Amino acid sequence: MIYPWFMTLLFVIAGMSARYALQKRTGRQFLRERAVKLLIPSTLGLFVIHWITGYLNIKMGGGLAYIPGALIYPISAISGTGPLWFIQMLFVFSCILVLFRKIDKTDKVWTFCKKANLPIIVLLFLVVFGAAQILNMPVLTMYRFGIYFTAFLIGYYIFSHEKTQELLEKFCIPLLCLAIFGSVLYEHRYGGGNFTSPACLQSFMTNLYLWIVILAILGCGRKYFNRRTAFTIYMTKSSFGIYILHYPVLIVTCYILHNYFALPAICNYGIALIVEIIVTFAVYEGVKRVPVLRYFVLGISSRKNRDLQ
């Protein structure tokens, strides 16, 4: 129920965030920050920590027997991208966005998109559905440039408007009911099947479902969760680092559970969740305090930036 809409939602929010960031920065400043924050962790950071992910994947797949010893580390690093594909794509989208802004110097497109009403916002799922059919990488199926770039632009041009957010907030309960109903239909149709297959991800039902869920989450989030607490303030600064570090922790935990313990599956899931949460936060708090590590792994270039991020 989560898979179809989760990453699309993140790209929508990333587009909104890009709009807010560019209100306070020039295009050059924005790209310089994005290069450090997104490009460094997803390239150089692979050789610092994410090689662990690549190594365990190769080992579990039986590939170590076929790779010369001297090449194990570089191949492990290059193949250790894991969920960092998200920020790799985000950097590409950020570069294209700056180009768009240079073409539209007076911001006419963004201003025009303020006129979007609820029917138009709902019908955007047709645009999303169409985008899901194009620019999908073979083999590396997570790189779905069509739908993710479209979601990023919709976030930037449409959902960054206060008027649009207020509209979603106003109708958040009907949207939530539709989203729940859609989840039942989606699970009935695709439950037990390969939910990562093109047949599923590119279907009309999947894209309608994911779009209604996104609208419901944005509306309900604004209505019920638009507040600051000690936890949200901490997570605002820390969530990016948690995202960067959670996967190596998770894969090591699951590898140990699978190979050294004979526990029921439900116990493995529970233990993995608890260990991942505790250890990831601990590793993050340690890494961000080490100058060289925090630059290559988290894209934090100075203590001042660390406090801001």
pLDDT at 309: 46
Nearest 5°: the CA angle 284, 295, 283 is 15
- CA pair distance 53, 271, nearest whole angstrom: 19
pLDDT at 83: 93
230-260 and 51-60 helices, crossing angle to 10°: 30
- CA pair distance 102, 113, nearest whole angstrom: 18
Residue with tokens 């309608």, as numbered in its chain: 208
pLDDT at 308: 42
**Which residues, given as ranges, of the chain have pLDDT below 50?**
304-309
pLDDT at 302: 65
